[in-house]
């Protein structure tokens, strides 16, 4: 065996090893996540049976944890857009071990986030009324409703993300078809679409990946802009802002990088892929996280400065509630998690290690969830008519469903790493050939 062939075989063994077997720890983690997901399904079933009265939603706060989670998870989906699409277009060599992990985050986060408009819908069995199709009732969707545009944007992004994840999997499916037996080999053979590794196939795959990177990048920006329009197209205080679309896109990329860092750390530790997910990859992602932290601070400061300087009484009521009222502590924690912690730990080179980068990723995820919470709740709880002001306290149903979404992400990833190589084998084989 030549040195190049030996290197290729070693790469294949390392990257295919996690697909074989399932230890006690893996089974316990999967069972625990499945149990929480099942509890979320039961809670949703209870809500469907008894109605939205089982939630904490009431006049004037009609949006709560469900919409907060919707915006949060759609934002997480931008991890694949930034790391995979942008870095693939710029031919950044260090992206190879992280692209598939990022693309999987995109797909799974979209699947989870896309469920929340249905959960929040109440009469979920009528969801198809949102679809613009000829029907005997002579009813058409209200195209002024943000729900219609949300569904259109999310379904488009979901289809594009699935295709973008699937295309680079084709060569690895062909490899799995050869190295496995039974039903798995047959399924992988079908999914490989007759891949033989011919030169024309490689050229076609490369062109398709570049084309999809451009398309998915444009779709991703438009999707979170549409989500931002759900807020900014209204006349509600501190929502009616022209900065919301880029603000949401920047925040989505920020939280997406944080999610990717956390997922990569888990993959590196539990799948024992330290030779592939090296410190340089975390260092580069840490620098990106630091950059986006500064960008986030700029947008946040711009939004608050404009409101404060304008001194509109209606907006100042919400502003005071967010900064000094009942939401003041959450605002402080948001700034600490999104800026203070990443800026210190990632801005000082000696402190920028894998543990601190991962801690910063967790901090950003917590901070961005708080940011979504602070966008939604203070405005609704402090309407222009002060006598109509209200409070919101999430019910056990909402809390269980929220916990189930995080468990869903973990469970989907646990299943994914056992189904396909989490790092593209063919990209490393090409590197070994070079």
Select the highest-mean-pLDDT range: 70-79, 318-327, 362-371: 362-371
431: pLDDT strictly greater than 60: no
The whole-angstrom separation of Cα 220 and Cα 236 is 26
Residue 51 has pLDDT above 50, yes or no: yes
Q: Is residue 133 predicted with pLDDT exceeding 80?
A: no
The whole-chain average pLDDT of the chain stands at 87
pLDDT reading at 372 higher than 90: yes
State yes or no: pLDDT of 399 exceeds 90.
yes
Does the structural domain 22-423 have CATH classification 3.40.50.300? Answer: no
- Average pLDDT for 160-185: 90
How far apart, in whole angstroms, are the C-alpha atoms of residue 154 and residue 134? 22
Distance CA 156, CA 140 (A): 20
What is the reported pLDDT for 151?
Answer: 79
pLDDT for the residue 134: 67
Q: How many CB atoms lie within 10 A of CB 387?
A: 5
Q: What is the mean pLDDT of residues 375-386?
A: 85
* Residue 92 or 50, more confident: 50
- What pLDDT score was predicted for residue 429? 65
Angle at which helices 65-76 and 244-270 cross, to 10°: 70
Give pLDDT, residue 290.
95
Q: What is the pLDDT of residues 95-116, one digit of tens each?
A: 788 888 888 999 999 999 989 9
SS3 label, residue 296: helix
| pLDDT at residue 180 greater than cutoff 70 | yes
Backbone dihedral angles phi then psi of residue 61, each to the nearest 5 degrees: -90, 90
Residues β-bridged to residue 58? 61
The pLDDT confidence band at residue 138, using thresholds 50, 70 and 90, is: low
Question: Which contacts qualify for 116-122: CB closer than 8 Å, 24 or more apart?
Answer: 116/66, 116/67, 116/69, 116/70, 116/73, 117/70, 117/147, 117/150, 117/151, 117/154, 119/44, 119/47, 119/66, 119/401, 120/63, 120/66, 120/67, 120/70, 121/147, 122/51, 122/52
Give me the percent of the chain exceeding a pLDDT of 70: 95
Q: How far is CA 338 from the centre of its chain?
A: 17
Sequence spans of domains, the chain: 22-423
Q: What is the DSSP letter of 151?
A: H
433, pLDDT greater than 60? no
More confident residue, 192 or 83: 192
Q: Is the pLDDT of residue 286 over 90?
A: yes
The residue-averaged pLDDT of 348-374 equals 94
Residues 82-90 have a mean pLDDT of 78
What is the dihedral sign for C-alpha 127, 130, 136, 139? positive
Is the peptide bond prior to 261 cis by the omega test (within 30 degrees of 0)?
A: no
Average pLDDT over residues 266-285: 89
Whole-number Å distance between alpha carbons of 329 and 249: 25
Cα–Cα distance between 178 and 197 in angstroms, integer?
13
pLDDT tens sequence across 220-252: 888 888 888 888 888 888 888 888 989 998 998
pLDDT at 373 over 90: yes
Tell me what pLDDT residue 111 has.
92
Quick one: pLDDT at residue 434?
47
Model's pTM, two decimal places? 0.91
pLDDT for 297: 95
């Amino acid at each position: 065996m030549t040195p190049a062939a030996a290197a290729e075989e070693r790469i294949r063994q390392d990257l295919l090893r996690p697909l074989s077997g399932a230890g006690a720890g893996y089974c316990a983690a999967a069972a625990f996540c499945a149990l929480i997901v099942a509890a979320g399904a039961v809670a949703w079933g209870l809500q469907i049976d008894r109605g939205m009265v089982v939630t904490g939603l009431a006049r004037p706060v009609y949006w709560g944890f469900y919409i907060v989670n919707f915006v949060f998870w759609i934002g997480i989906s931008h991890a694949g857009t930034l790391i995979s699409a942008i870095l693939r277009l710029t031919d950044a060599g260090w992206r190879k071990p992280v692209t598939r992990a990022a693309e999987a985050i995109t797909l799974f986060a979209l699947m989870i986030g896309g469920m929340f408009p249905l959960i929040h819908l109440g009469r979920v069995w009528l969801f198809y009324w949102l679809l613009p199709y000829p029907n005997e009732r002579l009813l058409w969707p209200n195209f002024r409703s943000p729900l219609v545009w949300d569904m259109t944007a999310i379904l488009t992004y979901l289809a594009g993300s699935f295709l973008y994840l699937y295309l680079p999997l084709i060569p690895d499916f062909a490899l799995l078809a050869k190295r496995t037996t039974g039903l798995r080999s047959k399924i992988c053979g079908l999914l490989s679409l007759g891949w033989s590794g011919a030169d024309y196939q490689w050229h076609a795959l490369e062109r398709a990946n570049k084309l999809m990177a451009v398309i998915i990048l444009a779709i991703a920006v438009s999707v979170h802009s549409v989500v931002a329009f759900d807020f900014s197209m209204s006349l509600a205080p501190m929502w009616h802002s022209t900065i919301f679309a880029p603000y949401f896109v920047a925040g989505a990329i920020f939280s997406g990088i944080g999610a990717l860092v956390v997922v990569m750390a888990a993959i590196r530790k539990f799948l024992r892929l330290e030779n592939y997910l090296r410190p340089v990859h975390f260092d580069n992602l840490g620098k990106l996280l630091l950059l986006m932290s500064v960008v986030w601070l700029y947008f946040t400061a711009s939004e608050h400065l404009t409101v404060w300087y304008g001194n509109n009484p209606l907006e100042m009521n919400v502003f005071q509630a967010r900064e000094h009222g009942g939401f003041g502590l959450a605002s402080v924690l948001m700034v600490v998690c999104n800026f203070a912690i990443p800026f210190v730990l990632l801005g000082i080179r000696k402190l920028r290690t894998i543990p601190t980068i991962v801690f910063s990723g967790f901090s950003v995820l917590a901070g961005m969830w708080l940011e979504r919470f602070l966008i939604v709740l203070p405005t609704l709880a402090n309407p222009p008519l002060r006598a109509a002001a209200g409070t919101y306290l999430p019910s056990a149903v909402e809390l269980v469903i929220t916990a189930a979404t995080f468990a869903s992400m973990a469970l989907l990833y646990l299943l994914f790493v056992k189904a396909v190589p989490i790092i593209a084998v063919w990209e490393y084989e090409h590197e070994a050939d070079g």
